[in-house]
Chains A and B, each alone.
Chain A
Amino acid sequence: MPFKRYVEIGRVALVNYGKDYGKLVVIVDVIDQNRALVDAPDMVRGQMNFKRLTLTDITIDIPRVPKKKTLIEAMEKADVKTKWENSSWGRKLIVQKRRASLNDFDRFKLMLAKIKRAGVVRQELAKLKKENSS
Chain B
Amino acid sequence: MAAKRKTPVKTRNPDLIRGVGKYSRSKMYHKRGLWAIKAKNGGVFPRHDPKPKAPAAADKPPKFYPAEDVKKPLLNKRKPKPTKLRASITPGTVLILLAGRFMGKRVVFLKQLTSGLLLVTGPFKINGVPLRRVNQSYVIATSTKVDISGVNVEKFDEKYFAKEVQKKKKKSEGEFFEAEKEDKKKLPEGKKEDQKAVDATLIKSIEGVPELKAYLAARFSLKSGMKPHELVF
Residues of A near any B CB (own CB < 8 A): 100-105, 108-109, 112
Contact = CB atoms under 8 A, between A and B. Distances in A.
Nearest to B94: A105
A103 B211 contact: no
Interface residues of B, number: 16
B141 to A, nearest CB: 10
Interface stretch (B41-49, B122-130, B195-203, B214-222): B214-222
A112 B213 CA distance: 13
Interface of B is mostly: mixed
B143 A112 contact: no
Interface of B: 94, 96, 106, 142-144, 211-212, 214-215, 218, 220, 230-233
Contacts, number: 32
A7 B147 CA distance: 55
B94 A100 contact: no
Contacts of A103: 142-144, 232-233
A45 to B, nearest CB: 33
Given A109-B211, A112-B211, A104 B233 contact: yes
B144 A102 contact: no
Contacts of B94: 104-105
A102 B232 CA distance: 6
